Each structure stands twice: as C-alpha cells, then as structure tokens.
Amino acid sequence: MGKIAFLFPGQGSQKVGMGATLFAEDSLAKEVLERADKALGFPLSEIIEHGPEEKLKQTAYAQPALVTMSTAVLQLFRDAGIQADFVAGHSLGEYSALVACKSLTFEDAVTLVHQRGTLMEEAVPQGQGAMAAVLGLNKEELEEVASEIAADGEVAELANLNCPGQIVLSGTAKGIEQAAVLAKQKGAKRVLPLAVSGPFHSSLMKPAADQFKQALEQAPFANPTVPLIANVTAEVTDAPEVIREQLAEQIYSPVRFEESVRRMIELGVDTFIEIGAGNVLCGLVRKIDRNLRTFAVSDRESFEKMAAALKGDKHSC
C-alpha cells in the first residue's frame, strides 16, 4: 500500500466564514479557535467568522487564520487516529505542517505567523511590490525573463514553482509589469496578477526574514515526529536548528512545491490529503501526476468521505 502525505494550504485560501460548521459542531475544533484568540491576544475568531474580507486578506491576519483553520481540521484526523507518512505545506502552510508533525505547538505557530505576516507587510510599501502567475512557460524560460528584468534594474523572481506550466513571479510592481510583457512574447498562455499585499518569496523580503530570525530563535522547536518536506529544499528536514534557518530563508526563496510533491512520490506517497481551507493544492498535485489520489478535507463531511475512501472506496476530491 502506498504512503499518505498531509498537505497544508497557504495564503489566498482564506475566506470569511471558513470552518463555520466545524467550529459549531466539533468541540476540539472550537477549542483550537479559542486557543488562537488566547495566544494572539485579540479575537481572531471574530475575523474568521465575520471578516470583513479586506481585514482577513491582510497578511498579518490571513496567516494565523489559515494555520488555525488547518489545525482545527487536523483534530479530526488525530481523533480518528489517521496519520501521515509525510507532511508538507505551501509557504505559510509549512507552519501548519510543523504543528501536524509536532515540531511546533499550535500556540507558537499561530504567534509566529502573525509576526511573520506583519513583517512581510511592512517590508515593502503598499503598491511597490507585486506577484503574478504565469501559465504555459517552464522554469528555464522564466529564469531568462527574470535575468532580463534584473538587467534593467527591476526585480521579477521565480516565487512559487507550483506545477508544470504554472509558476508565480514576485518582485517590484514595474518588474512584474515588464515580466508579463516578456513572458507573453515568449509564449505564455496567460499572466494573472495576484491579489497580494507584497512581493512574497522574492529578495525584496530579505529585510523581513532578517527581522523574523529573532522570533524563530526564541520559539521552541522539537524534532518532527513525521518527516517534513521543506519548501526551500524539497527534501526531508528534521533538525530544529535547520528548520529555523529554512523558515527564515523561505520568506525570500521560491516555494518548490512541484519538486516537493515529486520527492514524496519518489518516497512512496500515492495519496495526498489537503487539510484546511480550499482545494488549491489538490489541483496542483493532479497537474503534477494524474495517477495520484487526492482529497481536500475542510469539514467533517469531507473527512468522512475521505476516511471511507481510504478503507477501499476510490472517490477523490
């Protein structure tokens, strides 16, 4: 039998009211929500439940909200005794993965990502940075685009290597604008601007990473109980001091999601379960390899469908 990987979504998957049924009906999930409010010292639960959407979209709130949502859904797995062979997250989702493999407590994770989000928002003034998803070009073609933009003194760097034909660029607003033109000239099918508050996973985030190192040093990390595939290397990482270094580096480095999935396939994974808000990662996994089983679990109903499938039913998300 193949192995199971838990995947945790990143920023952009949040929505007002996410998890409402789960929080209302499941005492363990509700407890996670209460723990988040207590750890942060402000009512994150109110922002998750009622918004407004503009506030939930802000990086400083979106990040702890998504870690809270993923950890709440994770309680269903813990309660049922369903365990992963590997865990991984997409950018911010790596913190949810660290909670899943017991390297970080939930309280420490939610506090860290609130700080992380605040520093990332402050690193580049609003409107000066941008991100865009490029469809239809490969890594090498986009690296050529990035080099041409750099020669002009602007920044457009590969930020998210998501799946074949989908790579996100991040950089200065002007750099991303120029990169969009060049990418289309090279044959890109589409270039889609992303609604984000900064140029995440680019060198422009280095100041945020430098400031965040202190918070990472002070947070207690343990050795993961389940192998964690790191964003920055797409390899298993296990030593707390290495995890700290990689989390700082992750802020200004590409998210190697496609490579991470391929590495887990090499290690025997054939079932990927996305835990938390949305099903974006399921879609990316299927574009990487259509033969993989994928499930998106965001509430008890989707959890029970997945549990039935793992017992022999073949439905996927």
Kindly report the CATH number assigned to the domain that includes residue 90: 3.40.366.10
Q: Is residue 70 part of a domain?
A: yes
Distance CA 116, CA 122 (A): 10
Share of the chain above pLDDT 90, in %: 95
**Catalytic residue check, 91:** yes
Q: pLDDT class for 3, splitting at 50, 70, 90? A: very high
Same domain, 143 and 211: no
Among candidate residues 196, 218, 249, the one where a domain is terminated: 196
Half-sphere exposure of 238 (CA within 13 A, CB side): 6
Give the model confidence (pLDDT) of 257-314 as tens digits.
999 999 999 999 999 999 999 999 999 999 999 999 999 999 999 999 999 999 875 4
Q: Is residue 141 part of a domain?
A: yes
In this prediction, residue 30 carries a pLDDT of 97
Q: pLDDT class for 315, splitting at 50, 70, 90? A: very low
Kindly report the CATH number assigned to the domain that includes residue 133: 3.30.70.250
Same domain, 40 and 152: no
Same domain, 139 and 16: no
Same domain, 230 and 285: yes
Same domain, 211 and 192: no
- Domain hosting residue 17, numbered range: 3-123+204-310
What value does the mean pLDDT take over residues 89-108? 98
Same domain, 64 and 174: no
Residue type at position 113? V
Give the model confidence (pLDDT) of 101-124 as tens digits.
999 999 999 999 999 999 999 999
Whether pLDDT at 61 is above 70: yes
Please enumerate in sequence order all residues whose Cβ is within 8 A of that of 303, keeping only pairs 6 or more positions apart, or say none.
73, 76, 77, 80, 297
Whether pLDDT at 316 is above 60: no
Question: Which among 65, 115, 94, 51 is positioned nearest to 234, based on CA atoms?
Answer: 94
Distance CA 277, CA 296 (A): 8
Q: pLDDT class for 1, splitting at 50, 70, 90? A: low
In this prediction, residue 195 carries a pLDDT of 81
Same domain, 102 and 160: no
Question: Which among 95, 91, 94 is positioned nearest to 131, based on CA atoms?
Answer: 91
Among candidate residues 196, 224, 243, the one where a domain is terminated: 196
- Within 126-183, strands assigned E span 129-135, 156-163, 166-172
Among candidate residues 196, 214, 245, the one where a domain is terminated: 196
Q: Cα–Cα distances in Å, from 301 out to 75, 298, 306?
A: 14, 8, 9
Give φ, ψ of 162 to 5 degrees.
-80, -50
Q: Is residue 317 part of a domain?
A: no
Please enumerate in sequence order all residues whose Cβ is within 8 A of that of 139, keeping only pairs 6 or more positions apart, or say none.
158, 161, 167
Whether pLDDT at 20 is above 80: yes
Give the model confidence (pLDDT) of 122-149 as tens digits.
999 988 999 999 999 999 999 999 999 9
Distance CA 40, CA 62 (A): 13
Same domain, 104 and 243: yes
Distance CA 178, CA 159 (A): 16
Same domain, 137 and 211: no
Same domain, 9 and 47: yes
Q: Which of 13, 45, 70, 91 is catalytic?
A: 91
How many domains is the chain built from?
2
Whether pLDDT at 242 is above 80: yes
Same domain, 149 and 113: no
**Catalytic residue check, 201:** yes
User: How does DSSP classify residue 160?
Assistant: E
Whether pLDDT at 18 is above 50: yes
Same domain, 215 and 294: yes
Q: Is residue 35 part of a domain?
A: yes
